[in-house]
Amino acid sequence: MFSEMLIKLWENGIILKGVWETIYMTTLSSLIAYIIGLPLGVVLSVTSGEGIRPIPWLNRVLGLAVNFFRSIPFIILMVAMLPVAKWIVGVSLGNRAMIVMLVIAATPYVARMVESSLKEVDSGVVEAAQSMGTGNQQIVWKVLLPEARPSLATGAVISMVTILGYSAMAATIGGTGLGQIAISYGHQRFQPDVTWCCVFLTVIIVQIIQELGAWTAKKIDKRRRG
Amino acid sequence: MEREVLEISHLRKQYDGQTVIDDLSLTVHEGEVIVVIGPSGCGKSTLLRCVNALEDIQGGQIRLHGEPISQKSRNLQQLRQKVGMVFQNYELFPHMNVLDNILLAPVKAQKRARREVKEEAMALLGRVGLENRAESYPRQLSGGQKQRVAIVRALCMHPELLLFDEVTAALDPEMVREVLEVILDLADQGRTMLVVTHEMQFARAVADRIIFLDQGRICEEGPPETFFDAPKTERAEKFLKTFTFERKNKSKSGIRPGEEKL
């Protein structure tokens, strides 16, 4: 029923290792992308024209930088950023370099996600906080971020799934994980069942991320009943 | 004459070149309750928002106890803490329970001790009949309850001036009363208030002075009895007429089916 290749890959633990590598790359890249992208998104939202502290030039500069990186297709960005990866982590191959690429590609995406989540916060409650003499920093920490939490959680799920997709593409220039197994065993050695196995496992990972995210979003949403 | 709390002089506010408030001057004294009425779009809500510097202004000055308040004020946060505002749509923070909604600004902005503010908040919630809702979230409250919480939230800041911006406009008729009674009670305590409302009966009861705005200007002002019973301007008279109804031909017999004339 299964090809010898698939059975061998399974028995050697290569597939499980691929699953682990995919999860590891996705999670770590998402985490770093959020560490940089979350503050960036906050700044983008706060300094915009409708924000609580408009700074047009800063907003414009950051907005342009974000758009620049977002408009480059990931596969091209990866190749272009190889020297940067080498400069940051010392190598331009393997998972460490791939994580740098993923972070470079994902951070602007995350920043826009965060920005749009914060913009969804009802401007009325922000005004209420302002009218009580609450400072901008406190408004960010105590009103904007807490009120945006469910939307931030949903955004994080979308970002992670996108990053997972990118991580598979990273296999084309030396990344590992399920993407690499699908390409080098499934595609290049003509073993469609290996490819399908990778597809199946990826779907399961995405599903787990989705469910976890939806559960978290629901848990922290105090606006709804139940 | 009592001390002046708020002094608005020659205020001008424009949106995209359109003048919303035009050379408006108004002084509010300590303990005075001023009710601002007028047709929609006359600038009454904008006026309140200017007093709290939620809007930038294009001319004139607003002073709170002599200190100019505008978006450019360096001590804007301190000045805003002296002005409590209650909004038409409550604007409670949906992810915080009632108590946290009330405590946020006094604890974070005014740096007061949480325990002290909490005691005060509980006492005030008791006064408006909501002592057992401290742990509730806004979604669990009725409109009237939310608005009473919003009033308590404003009061906990110890404001020197309270602004009420059409606070019953989004409420069901039965809930209007519970909110207006709280405001009447505050008036009796001698609070200084600037109230925008469409409830004429209430305006008459609560106001020391009525300000009638039309097209961004004060068209008429005076004590409520004079204003409501004998308005001096034609414009005010016309406005007040919109609150009374009469039928022209009540005595005529009805039209039988099939006989309708169009």
Per-position b or e across A76-110, b if 16+ CB within 10 A of its CB: ebbeebbeebeeeeeebeebebbbbbbbbbbbbbb
Contacts of A132 in chain B (CB under 8 A): 80-81, 84-85, 104-105, 109, 153-154, 157
Which of A1-15, B27-41, B102-116, B211-225 is the least confident region? A1-15
Asked if B94 lies within 8 A of A125 by C-beta distance, the reply is yes
Residue B91's pLDDT is: 96
Rounded to 5 degrees, what are φ and ψ at B168? -110, 5
Q: What HEC string does chain A produce? A: CCCHHHHHHHHCCHHHHHHHHHHHHHHHHHHHHHHHHHHHHHHHHHCCCCCCCCCHHHHHHHHHHHHHHHCCCHHHHHHHCHHHHHHHHCCCCHHHHHHHHHHHHHHHHHHHHHHHHHHCCCHHHHHHHHHCCCCHHHHHHHHHHHHHHHHHHHHHHHHHHHHHHHHHHHHHHCCCCHHHHHHHHHHCCCCHHHHHHHHHHHHHHHHHHHHHHHHHHHHHCCCCCC
Q: DSSP letter for B156, please.
A: T
B49-52's contacts with Cβ under 8 Å and 24+ in sequence apart are B49/B165, B50/B11, B50/B13, B50/B21, B51/B6, B51/B8, B51/B83, B51/B161, B51/B163, B51/B194, B52/A131, B52/B80, B52/B83, B52/B85, B52/B163
Nearest CA in chain B to A136: B77
Residue B39's pLDDT is: 92
A78 pLDDT exceeds 50? yes
Contacts of B157 in chain A (CB under 8 A): 132-133
- The two beta strands, B59-64 and B217-222, are unpaired
A225 pLDDT exceeds 60? no
Q: How far is B144 from chain A, CA to nearest CA, in Å?
A: 18
pTM of the model: 0.88
Contact B153, B91 (CB under 8 A): no
Contacts of A143 in chain B (CB under 8 A): 93, 104
Kindly provide the ipTM of the predicted complex, given to two decimals: 0.88
Least Cα distance to B11 among B226, B211, B236 occurs for: B211
Residue A92's pLDDT is: 81
Domain ranges (residues) in chain A: 4-224
Of B85, B108, B137, the CB nearest to A131: B85
pLDDT tens across A117-172, in order?
Answer: 999 999 999 999 999 999 999 999 999 999 999 999 999 999 999 999 999 888 88
Least Cα distance to A84 among A109, A104, A70 occurs for: A104
**CB proximity A115 to B under 8 Å:** no
Q: What is the mean pLDDT of residues B161-180?
A: 94
- The fourth-level CATH superfamily of domain A4-224 is MetI-like (1.10.3720.10)
Average pLDDT, chain B: 93
| Distance (Å, whole) CA A192 – CA A195 | 5
